[in-house]
Amino acid sequence: MHRLGSASIPEYTGSVVRFIFGTHTLTFLVHSVMLTFAANSIDEFLDNLNSMHYFIDQIAFKSEMRGPTFQCESVGEGALRLHYFSHRQGLFPIVKGLVRRTARLLFEMEVKVNVVERSQERRKSGMVEHVVFSLEPDDEHRAGKRLAYKFKRQTRISGDFETRDPNLPLPVNLKDFSRIFPYHICFNRQMVVEHVGGYLLAEYGLGDKKMLKLTELVQLIQPADIQQLTHKSIMTYLNTLFIFQLKHHCRRNEVEKDSSEAFQQPLCLKGQMMPVNSGNSIIFLCSPHVTTVRDILDLKLFISDMPIHDATRDLVMLNQSRICQMELNKRLEETVRKLKGLAEQLAKKKEQTEHLLYEFVPEVIADAFRLGKPVPPRKLLTYG
């Protein structure tokens, strides 16, 4: 321990400093309010970290920085295992401190967080550090206790679904489902597309396509870490936002080869992967990856192409409203700046006018003119 005057400064290792930093970071986060309604349990909170990182980095700040990714898995009835992947080495103690602080502030529990494995992995985006944490709750939140739901989500299916005869047909057929989710893509373990949404079916002419592979239809944009798009790799990233770009233009975007619109970017779809049919199939529930009216116009989309329940409609209109407001504020600031410039020029002209006035007429008359008072006729003697 070093002494500086009468104060003593304790010696901490880099890992301890990062851990302490993590425990205090949550208090100063600008988006800490958003964390309070993120999830009802710790495992749900950890599963939503990737989507929150995407929103803050890509939508709120339009940042090119690649944030960490997380994967949370259940271990038995009363423990969790958190996988942390980052391109920045040695920052995992911050995560340990953040998880403990989050559990204390948001879920009112003490959680034991230990590092059980640390390794380096080569991924599509480069070398990443892979750290595995084990999480265990305190006694009040263990399995079987009243507050256990705060640590791990309840997976028990409600009685209505348990008692339903699985052989009974659902009231929603495939045609209805394709109309409700016009952009969805469902595929099996062999990555063969089984059915798609109504918009994709109509605009991309997929009705006659047989044994169409998912990789023949779309190109993966995010997650960037997936090297090969397989059923297994997708199942590993179920808690991550997926973005696909269609490999072909839709019919309404078909133009001549020499047209200026020939190289227009194809439609991108953003959404979530969900296993169905006992994991034998995966459905990609998604929406067009657009945030402004300009994005929609460039793709020749329309608001009516999105179902009313799709929040993308509101996002586009709210974002466009914000852009318009920013443009109005910019114009207002420019107008104020010009008015200030004119006011300065007017003040200079006034000063020059007064200077000329006092130069050619007597001071008494100039004062009267400047104050707007009448000047009675008088005879002035001039010498020359």
**Considering the domain boundaries, does residue 315 fall inside one?**
no
At residue 280, the pLDDT reads 92
Domain end point (choices 117, 137, 157): 137
Structurally, the chain folds into a number of domains equal to 3
The residue among 148, 135, 167, 136 whose CA lies nearest residue 71 is: 135
Q: Are 299 and 183 members of one domain?
A: yes
Task: Give the domain CATH number at 49.
Answer: 3.90.1520.10
Q: Calculate mean pLDDT across residues 193-204.
A: 92
Residue 51 placed within a domain: yes
More confident residue, 167 or 81: 81
Distances (CA, A) of 349 to 342, 352, 357, 371: 10, 5, 12, 17
pLDDT at 263: 52
Could you tell me the pLDDT band of residue 91, with boundaries at 50, 70 and 90?
A: confident
Domain that holds residue 296: 172-251+265-309
Q: Is residue 145 part of a domain?
A: no
Instruction: Read off the pLDDT of each residue in 222-226 and give the average, rounded to a whole number.
Output: 85
Over residues 279-293, the mean pLDDT reads 92
> Does 100 map to a domain?
yes
In percent, the amount of the chain with pLDDT more than 70 equals: 77
Identify whether residues 39 and 119 lie together within a single domain. yes
The answer to the question of residue 142 being in a domain is no
CB contact burial 125-162 (16+ within 10 A = b; e otherwise): eeebbbbbbebbbeeebbeeeeebebbbeeeeeeeeee
71 in the same domain as 178: no
Asked whether residue 185 falls in the same domain as residue 277, the answer is yes
Write out the DSSP string of 74-107: EETTTEEEEEEEESSTT-HHHHHHHHHHHHHHHH
Q: Does residue 24 form part of some domain?
A: yes
Specify whether 296 is located in the same domain as 184. yes
Hey, is 9 helix, strand or coil?
strand
Same domain, 71 and 178: no
Q: Is 237 helix (H, G, I), strand (E, B) or coil?
A: coil
Distance CA 262, CA 217 (A): 19
The SS3 call for residue 18 is helix
The pLDDT of 97-104, averaged and rounded, is: 85
Q: Is residue 60 part of a domain?
A: yes
pLDDT digits (tens, 9 = 90+) for 107-125: 888 888 889 989 888 877 7
Task: Reply yes or no on whether the pLDDT at 10 is more than 80.
Answer: no
Statement: residue 193 has pLDDT above 70: yes
Alpha carbons 344 and 208: distance in angstroms, whole number: 72
CATH code of the domain in which 240 resides: 3.30.450.260
Least confident of 43-52, 157-166, 331-340, 373-382: 157-166
Least confident of 42-46, 114-118, 372-376: 372-376
* pTM score of the predicted model: 0.71
Radius of gyration from C-alpha coordinates of the chain: 33
Shared domain check, 297 and 229 = yes
| pLDDT over 90 percentage in the chain | 26
- In this structure, are 269 and 327 located in the same domain? no
Q: Of 114-123, 208-217, 351-360, which gets the smallest average pLDDT?
A: 351-360
SS3 content of the chain, % helix, strand, coil (to 5): 40, 20, 40
Q: Is residue 256 part of a domain?
A: no
| Same domain for 290 and 192 | yes
Same domain, 89 and 131: yes
The predicted structure's pLDDT at residue 63: 67
* pLDDT, the chain, mean: 81
